[in-house]
Structure 1
Amino acid sequence: MSDTPVDLDKHRGMAAQKATDIRRVLAEIETHAKILREQQGILEIELLAVPAASWHEAAAKARYVLNLYAASLADTDTHHRDLVAAVIADFARLSGEG
């Protein structure tokens, strides 16, 4: 008996190796997505708990919510997407960011 691990990928056909690689990448993406969702939840709790101390902070919170809203819009809903983009541009212009 040997303690050396066997590289099973060498014993698979090309199609099986590609399928395994795809499963590995998907598992990694799912792990990253879970971490991002957890971080997003923490951020949103903080946004709810701490009131904005300035107009800049209030605008940053509004931009975050508008981006969430825009992400939920259908690709064909260009009118609302344009409206969100215009409001975000207004925030940037009025805060001296752009």
Structure 2
Amino acid sequence: MTDDTVDLDQHRGIAAQKATLLRRLLSEVEDDARALRLRQEELEAQLGAAPATTWMDAAEKARYLLDLFATTPAAQDPRRQALIANVLKDFERLSKKRG
């Protein structure tokens, strides 16, 4: 018996190696997407757990929602993209005035 491991991928053809690599990459992407969804659910639970106590808290919640909306087909209109960008700039500018 030996302690050396055998790299089975080297004994497969190129097509099989590529297929194996694709399956592994797909599995990693699916795992990452699942982890991201869980973190997003946790964030949304925290954002919705209590009402905002300051304008900054409310702006952070609104910023999160605007970022989500910006990725939807409805937000792809250039006018809406400009409006979203302007509102986010307003949040940034106004937060500096208060801070």
Q: Which TM-score tier does this pair reach, normalised by the shorter chain?
A: 0.7 to 0.9
| Of 74-83 and 35-44, the range deviating more from structure 2 | 74-83
SS in 1 for 2:53: coil
* Counterpart in the other structure of 2:67: 67
Q: Which runs of 5+ in 2 are unaligned?
A: none
Equivalent residue runs for 1:19-98 within 5 Å: 19-73=19-73, 76-96=76-96
Percent identical pairs in the alignment equals 52
Poorly superposed stretches of 4+, deviation over 4 Å? 1-5
TM-score (norm 2): 0.84
Between the two proteins, the alignment pairs up a number of residues equal to 97
Q: CA deviation at 1:82?
A: 1.3
TM-score, normalisation: structure 1? 0.85
Task: Decide which structure has greater helix share.
Answer: 2
Using the alignment, how far apart are the partners of 1:3 and 1:21 within structure 2? 25
The alpha carbon displacement at 1:7 in A equals: 2.3
Code of the aligned partner of 2:21: D
Give RMSD over aligned pairs.
2.1
Mean alpha-carbon deviation: is it higher for 76-85 or for 38-47? 76-85
- Residues 52, 58 of structure 2: 8 Å contact kept: yes
In the alignment, structure 1 segments of 5+ residues that lack a partner are none
Provide the C-alpha distance between the structure 2 equivalents of 1:90 and 1:43, rounded to a whole number of angstroms: 23
